[in-house]
Amino acid sequence: MDMSSEDRNQFINAVKKETSGQIDSAKVIGDRRFETHEEAEAALGIAKEVAPNKHFEIKEANGKYYVEVK
């Protein structure tokens, strides 16, 4: 995955922020969009490490992928 150390930390912080409270509806994690499904899968793995008790999914819009928590 081409996520730099800074991008990874920003993504982790976004996961923590979005999963810290009760989730009433689906939320996009951060503002990062991934070029490939493989990059999104790697980000999904990071999200699951940070918040293992939450449900995450990969979604696609306009040819880009993103991680969503439900």
Query: What are 5-29's pLDDT values in tens digits?
Result: 998 999 999 999 888 877 777 788 8
pLDDT of residue 10: 92
SS (H, E, C) the chain: CCCCHHHHHHHHHHHHHHHCCCCCCCEECCCCCECCHHHHHHHHHHHHHHCCCCCEEEEEECCEEEEEEC
- Reported pTM: 0.80
